[in-house]
């Protein structure tokens, strides 16, 4: 867990157990929990868990099983427009906590509240936090996953061209009114080695708000490209001479 935290760039978290119960030198912060939640939201398989309100499970020994109904402790799912997750928490030391996520149109927001005195307060504060976010920010879509960004020539390939495509959907959330400040810069690797497999990284796309770089994303090949054979290479040379 601590190695993964470092990979995500978390600087104020250290884990001693997997359950989150209080123990010496086990800690995190609102920002880091938000970053963990952001990474978790990328896992599509987990989304039904966040938004399910009630589920029936079977408990007990074989032959003596009975139905038990689990209810989601995240009341935001039923009370807040667009709520999609993610996790409640409580210990005596930490108080009532919540990592809440909501999406409206293309804008997805994640908020974290810690140390609330009651469960109701955490949901009320999260609602206020998300309301502020949706009122003041919007997401500008830069590219859809799989969309063609730039055509690339591969002189020595059996196919002389391919397209650099976005590996994932790319967007930038900015303060409302700053939409026109969003820019992108595309860089294709200078020495692309053959063979190329579909999905291989061949470049980067950087997203800027004004002159400030906000993020970088990989661009990948949309197809396989093998090295051209002797006959193909010879024919191309002849055509250039004609």
* Domains, in order of start, for the chain: 2-139 (3.40.710.10), 144-241 (2.60.410.10)
CA–CA separation, 200 and 219 (whole Å): 8
CB 205 within 8 A of CB 185: yes
Distance CA 171, CA 103 (A): 14
Phi, then psi, of 168 in degrees rounded to 5 = -145, 165
What does the block give as tokens for 241? Answer: 């001479």
DSSP for residue 16:
S
Instruction: Write down the pLDDT at residue 232.
Output: 67
Residues 199 and 221 sit within 8 Å (Cβ to Cβ)? yes
Write down the pLDDT at residue 242: 67
Residue 236 has what pLDDT? 59
pLDDT of amino acid 172: 95
Each residue of 215-231: pLDDT tens digit? 999 999 999 999 877 66
Half-sphere exposure of 96 (CA within 13 A, CB side): 14
Please list the ranges in the chain whose pLDDT falls under 70.
Answer: 230-237, 239-242
């Amino acid at each position: 867990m601590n190695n993964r935290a470092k990979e995500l760039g978390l600087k104020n978290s250290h884990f001693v157990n997997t359950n989150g119960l209080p123990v010496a030198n086990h800690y995190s912060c609102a920002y880091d929990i938000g970053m963990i939640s952001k990474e978790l939201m990328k896992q599509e398989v987990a989304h039904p868990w966040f938004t399910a309100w009630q589920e029936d499970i079977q408990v007990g020994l074989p032959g003596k099983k009975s139905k038990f109904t689990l209810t989601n402790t995240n009341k935001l799912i039923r009370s807040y427009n667009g709520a999609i997750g993610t996790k409640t928490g409580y210990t005596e030391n930490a108080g009532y906590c919540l990592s809440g996520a909501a999406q409206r149109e293309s804008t997805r927001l994640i908020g974290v509240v810690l140390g609330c005195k009651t469960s109701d307060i955490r949901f009320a504060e999260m609602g206020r936090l998300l309301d502020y976010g949706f009122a003041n920010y919007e997401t500008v879509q830069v590219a859809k996953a799989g969309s063609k960004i730039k055509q690339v020539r591969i002189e020595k390939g059996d196919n002389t061209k391919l397209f650099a495509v976005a590996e994932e959907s790319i967007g930038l959330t900015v303060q409302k009114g700053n939409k026109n400040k969003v820019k992108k810069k595309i860089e294709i690797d200078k020495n692309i080695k053959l063979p190329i497999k579909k999905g291989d990284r061949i470049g980067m796309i950087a997203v800027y708000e004004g002159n400030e770089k906000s993020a970088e994303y990989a661009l990948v090949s949309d197809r396989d490209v093998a090295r051209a054979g002797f006959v193909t290479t010879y024919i191309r040379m002849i055509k250039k001479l004609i």
